[in-house]
Amino acid sequence: MNPFDYACPSSVDEAVALAGPDSRFIAGGTNILDLMKENVLRPGRLIDITRLPLGEIASTLEGGLRIGALVSNSDLAWHPEVQHRYPLLAQAILSGASAQLRNMATTGGNLLQRTRCWYFYDTGTPCNKREPGSGCGARDGVNRMHAILGASDACVAVHPSDMCVALAALEARVQVKGPHGERSILFEDFHRLPGDQPERDNVLADDELITAVELPAEGFANHSAYLKVRERASYAFALVSVAAALDLDGNTIRRARLALGGVAHKPWRREKAEALLVGRRAEDGAFAQAAEALLEGSQPLTYNAFKPELARRAIIRALTDAAGGTAR
């Protein structure tokens, strides 16, 4: 590990003023410390944000919920309002990592965790995300976990978060503060596809801090499901995951939300797939068409040719579960 400066600001403004291209914030530390120990990241300064007043969950004027960036994944998943009104989010969080990790991991850190592509972690191999211009070891390498949608020649990594898949489906917003003030980013626009700049996972600037995530009032509490398919039953990242949420009038779909994890560089949504469900009866035929639309243009790699079919089945199953009523 390289030597680095350590700062522990007590206000958001102070934290932002300390930030820059050679610095990194540290919250729970469950991802960034591993990356530093493996020499994947070598920041000159660590800015410890754990003393900032960003640990609250509060109602918003619009009837939604504002989640401070330092709220732990455990506290968020078990918060009564989240359990009651946003069970999709609670399910997604609780399907990830382990209880100990969720106790440390924070809301902001979860959004900004880096890919689990093993070429990214292995400094002996090329990786455009770790070292722009060095090449992509995964594209023709061991790519079972990798992207089937939205990838580029430069990068086939996927975003590993479960929580983010639910936040995408719920159309959360990310609240950010930088030296020029605050901004609010729609979740859909927060993470990026890799293109020719895979080193950039999202639209956050180096000196911007996530202060909160805001949920809208609608939580699809009665008809939602998070389905995670992985190599083993716990403590594993998703091969494919699905966040499905429906608003039903009897058995007719009024509104639908669908987001996929494990298939792209960001949680994967398509308006067309959701629009196809509206006005239809909540049954297999409509679900299969939505799956088709969401996965259209999939481009599997050598070792993940199974993913489009796995994703198709997972989408139909998650929609079926959601239609049957949220499991509590």
- Tell whether residue 106 is a contact of ligand FAD (CB under 6 A): yes
Q: How many CB atoms sit inside 10 A of residue 141's CB?
A: 17
Separation in Å, CA 299 to CA 136, 147, 278, 309: 16, 8, 27, 12
* Closest-CA residue to 114 (of 9, 194, 226): 194
- Radius of gyration for the chain, computed over Cα atoms and rounded to the nearest angstrom: 19
Looking at beta carbons only, is 4 or 135 nearer to ligand FAD?
4
Q: Longest C-alpha distance within the chain, in Å?
A: 61
Task: Give the shortest CB-92-to-ligand FAD separation in angstroms.
Answer: 8
- Is residue 67 a contact residue for ligand FAD (CB under 6 A)? no
326 is a contact residue toward ligand FAD (CB under 6 A): no
Is 68 a residue that touches ligand FAD (CB under 6 A)? no
Site for ligand FAD in 14-43 (CB under 6 A): 24-32
Residue 259 found at the interface with ligand FAD (CB under 6 A): no
Q: How far apart are CA 149 and CA 158, in angstroms?
A: 9
Q: How far is the CB of 235 from ligand FAD (least distance, A)?
A: 6
Token pair belonging to 128: 């455009």
Rule CB under 6 A: say whether 264 interacts with ligand FAD.
no
161 binds ligand FAD per the rule CB under 6 A: yes
Among residues 208 and 321, whose Cβ is nearest to ligand FAD? 208
Q: What is the DSSP letter of 96?
A: S
Decide if residue 175 touches ligand FAD (CB under 6 A): no
Of 103-111, 147-155, 218-226, 297-305: span binding ligand FAD (CB under 6 A): 103-111
Q: How far is the CB of 284 from ligand FAD (least distance, A)?
A: 29
Instruction: Give the separation between CA 148 and CA 158, rounded to whole angstroms.
Output: 9
Among 86, 220, 226, 237, binds ligand FAD (CB under 6 A): 237
Residue 158 interacts with ligand FAD (CB under 6 A): yes or no: no
For residue 173, the minimal CB distance to ligand FAD (Å) is 15
Question: Which residues lie below 8 Å from residue 225, measured CB to CB, with a gap of 6+?
Answer: 88, 91, 242, 243, 244, 318, 319, 321, 322, 326, 327
Q: Give one word for 39, left, alpha or beta, with left for phi > 0 and alpha for psi -120 to 50.
A: left
Contact status: 71 vs ligand FAD (CB under 6 A): no
**In angstroms, how far is the first alpha carbon of the chain from the final one?**
44
Contact between 248 and ligand FAD by CB under 6 A: the answer reads no
Q: Taking CB positions, which residue lies at the least distance from ligand FAD?
A: 109
The number of residues that bind ligand FAD (CB under 6 A) is 30
Q: Least distance (Å) from ligand FAD to the CB of residue 27?
A: 4
Write the DSSP string, 166-209.
HHHHTT-EEEEEETTEEEEEEHHHHB---TT-TT--BS--TT-E
Binding site for ligand FAD (CB under 6 A): 24-32, 49, 69, 73, 96-97, 101, 104-106, 108-110, 112-113, 160-163, 209-210, 237
